[in-house]
Amino acid sequence: MTEDSLAQQVENPKLTLYAFHLCHDMTLGEGERVEDCDRLWQTFEELGQELAIAPLATCRQWFNLPENGGTVPFRELLSQEIDRCLRFPIPQSRRNGELYALQLHDTYAADLTFRYSGSVSVDQLSHLNPQGKLLPDRIQASLGQTLVLFAKPLINGDTSHPETLQKFADRCLKALLAEADSHWQNLSYIAQGKLLGSPIFEYDNFAEDPAQSCHILIWLNCHPDTTPLEASATYYEPLINLLCSRSKIRFSYHQARQRYRDARKIYQQLETVMQGLQTLPADTAERLTFLKGSISKTTPKAFTYASYIRDIEDQRTAIITNFRNYITALNHLNQLEGENELKLFQDFSDRRSQFLGQIRTDLNYLMPGKTLFGDCIATMRGIVEVEQAEINNKLQETEQDLQDHIQAIGVGIAAGAIVASSFGLVTQPWYFPNREKIELPFLSPHPLIMALIFSGLCSVGSWLIARKVIEKKRGK
């Protein structure tokens, strides 16, 4: 098959952007929306300004958002005045477009379509994605997006040949990305299938981050039954639900992996703390200061570490739930009228065990660290308590000794004071019964000196006796 055998035109091509943005979060109160829930609609208004599409530049005036609306399975968001869909021409071109907006559970889903009427060359498909403005870095949908091109190929030769159609799909993809930055032009072909009787081709760049993930489907209208079946739109709700579940799965997986990487960084910091415990300062005061500082730093990190593990488990639950929704939507697509071979979508469903297995492995690595954090903090607190208790005991003993000394000195001073106050009686003359005065030569010193000597001896003696009595009572 040569390049010349591929036609240069497609008929009635339309490029639909399915973008998904989180509007409610389980951590918020009932009915509360996330802070940037309107960012997707703001982006569309900015896009309308850049492309000089006045209705799109003022699209939010047609939104009918309940003030305290909670999560709902399915809600149309645009006003009934415009029949729930904003249609508009694109100035100075053969293009026109429409915006359809939904809320699917906790997610805003946008369907922005640009289309040509009639036949155009394949190269003109670049105008459906002018300057790459419909790619993830421009739209910035928090949960991700998918671009779907639906067009009838005008091919010279056998359109049933798979290689012919894949090469044509490759040419369409190249044209869609012609005006985009070079890093978006490295998408890889993944698989193909059939939807409503016509072949559909899947391309992706395998980026984990939804902000960098480019997922494109090229759906070639090659079967006579496809046009009326596509116009009936019976495929629409299961398809948008499937793509929404796919984006949420990828988003949850990315969030879980990012939390794992964040937790590993904290774990490395814990390793540094543990190494510090092996070389504690010899000085008690320095050791206590170091341990208390380590505890004050480690405790918040331990809490953050535990919250990251909780987040990973929450994302794991979200993945399980959205895979269930994905399979339900896939079953609905398979049951649609017409020939449907959706192995390309089934292949993603089969990655459930891969995603959950990786998260289970991540949790197995992190859970011992959670226990280790607790043990490390408990160890540091135990050391601090022991060290602090020893210091408190020493201080208590010192204070008690001081109190004992004060008590003994008080007893001594009191005894000396008693002696000093009564020493006048001691120096009074002594008399025999016959009233003859007794002369005592050893009392000849001055009464003041005698008072000082006796009071001093009594004070010291009383202090020594009191101290011995106190020590005996304290068991020293």
pLDDT tens-digit map of 321-343: 999 999 999 999 999 999 999 99
The answer on pLDDT for 89 being more than 50 is yes
Q: Which run of H or E residues covers position 307? A: helix 284-334
Could you tell me if 445 and 426 are in contact, meaning their C-beta atoms sit under 8 angstroms apart? no
User: What's the sign of the alpha-carbon dihedral 157, 158, 161, 166?
Assistant: positive
Segment among 229-238, 357-366, 411-420, 432-441 with least mean pLDDT: 411-420
Task: Look up residue 63 and give its DSSP letter.
Answer: B
Could you tell me if 139 and 21 are in contact, meaning their C-beta atoms sit under 8 angstroms apart? no
Could you tell me if 88 and 56 are in contact, meaning their C-beta atoms sit under 8 angstroms apart? yes
Radius of gyration of the chain (CA): 44
The answer on pLDDT for 445 being more than 60 is no
Helices then strands, counting H and E runs in the chain, come out as: 10, 12
Q: Phi-psi category of 103—alpha, beta or left, where left has phi over 0 and alpha has psi -120 to 50?
A: beta
How confident is the prediction for the chain on average, in pLDDT? 83
> What's the one-letter identity of residue 103?
Q
Residue partners of 87: CB distance under 8 A and separation at least 6: 55, 96, 97, 98
Could you tell me if 177 and 132 are in contact, meaning their C-beta atoms sit under 8 angstroms apart? yes
- Residue 410: how many CA atoms within 13 Å on its side-chain side? 7
Strand, helix or coil for residue 378: helix
Task: Report pLDDT digits (tens) over 221-280.
Answer: 999 999 999 999 999 999 999 999 999 999 999 999 999 999 999 888 777 776 666 666
What residues form DSSP beta bridges with 103?
75, 108
Q: What does the chain come to in residues?
A: 476
Question: The tokens of 271 are what?
Answer: 């390793």
What residues form DSSP beta bridges with 195?
198
Strands (E), 290-362: none
Q: Single out the residue of 268, 257, 250 nearest to residue 361, CA to CA.
A: 257
The answer on pLDDT for 443 being more than 60 is no
Q: Single out the residue of 214, 252, 246, 211 nearest to residue 362, CA to CA.
A: 252
- What pLDDT does 71 receive? 82
SS3 content of the chain, % helix, strand, coil (to 5): 55, 20, 25
The answer on pLDDT for 392 being more than 90 is no
pLDDT band at 37 (very low <50, low <70, confident <90, very high): confident
Strand, helix or coil for residue 439: coil
The structure's pTM equals: 0.79
- What pLDDT does 388 receive? 63
Question: The tokens of 259 are what?
Answer: 């939390």
Question: The tokens of 273 are what?
Answer: 């703390």
Q: What angle in degrees, to the nearest 10, is found between the helix axes of 447-473 and 352-426?
A: 150
d(CA 298, CA 228): 64
Burial (CB count within 10 angstroms: exposed 0-12, middle 13-18, buried 19+), residue 390: exposed
How far, in Å, are 30, 100, 325 from residue 66 at the CA level? 13, 17, 25
